[in-house]
Amino acid sequence: MANEFAPCTEAQKQAVLERLAAIRQKIAAACQDSGRSESEVTLMAVTKTVSPELINLAVDAGVTTLGENRVQEYLSKRDAYRADAEVQFIGHLQTNKVKQIIDKVTLIHSVDSLHLAEAISKAAEKQGIVMPVLLEVNIGGEASKSGVSPDELPALLDAVQKLPAVRADGLMTIPPPMTDEAEQIRVFTQMKQLFDSLRQSVPMQVLSMGMSGDYEAAVRCGATIVRIGSALFGARSYPPKNEG
């Protein structure tokens, strides 16, 4: 797939750099509004359907954390990425594909079941590593989305902590689409309260929430990672999906 992308034009590159500057300004303003340091927030570039050339442009501009959604797409592009880019997996992960990425990513955001956590632990043990993960919370209760309910979360966290080669570093959520800022704040505040209640007994540090349409509200509510794709790279062009 890495070779399937047409060369990027100078106009495309300039547009990415301009969007990046605007995103950074908005994150800075959201941090200032909420009394936070910009150093508390990681801007992740979500790379789904994006050419390695544009991804590397963002890396060269200082966005060194990349978020991958699909295993096969990532494996097809990873050799073209800058060596200093840190790659995290943020998409739905099938248990039979865990072993393909276990030694290639630094964090898995999307653990939504004990079954998946067990597969990650088993694969990590074989590599002699402990894999940091985030537990995915379906904060909006949407049937179409992965993640455990807030009520189910404590039991999953307790079970994951008992696994030998997985470490629960925090939580992740993909909230319902929200255009109203007050609604965004309400949902993200609920997520932050859930995070804070659990970290009283578990030393979790990562709260991954906020995407292209709502990252400013997420930062104001305490996100430590915002996952930004289309607001940085432009509208996506989706190829046929060949994996679940």
- Class assignment of domain 9-34+46-202+215-232? alpha beta
pLDDT at 179: 83
> Given a cut of 60, is residue 241 above it in pLDDT?
no
Task: With CA atoms as reference, report the closest residue to 101 among 111, 112, 88, 110.
Answer: 88
Angle, helices 153-161/181-198, rounded to nearest 10 degrees: 40
Per-residue model confidence as pLDDT tens digits over 97-108: 999 999 999 999
Does the pLDDT value for residue 209 go beyond 90? Answer: yes
Helix axes 10-34, 52-60, angle to 10 degrees: 50
| pLDDT value, residue 242 | 45
- Which pLDDT score is estimated for 178? 83
pLDDT digits 0-9 by tens, 121-132: 999 999 999 999
Which residue matches tokens 């965004």? Answer: 184
pLDDT value of residue 143:
75
At what angle are helices 114-127 and 153-161 packed, to 10 degrees? 20
pLDDT at 144: 75
**Which two tokens mark 242?**
């060949």
Name 177's Cβ contacts closer than 8 Å, sequence gap at least 6: 213
Which long-range CB contacts under 8 A does 61-70 form with residues at least 24 apart?
61/17, 61/20, 63/20, 63/232, 65/225, 67/109, 67/227, 67/229, 68/101, 68/105, 70/243
**pLDDT tens column, 67-104:** 999 999 999 999 999 999 999 999 999 999 999 999 99
Domain ranges of the chain: 9-34+46-202+215-232
Q: Quote the pLDDT of residue 240.
A: 52
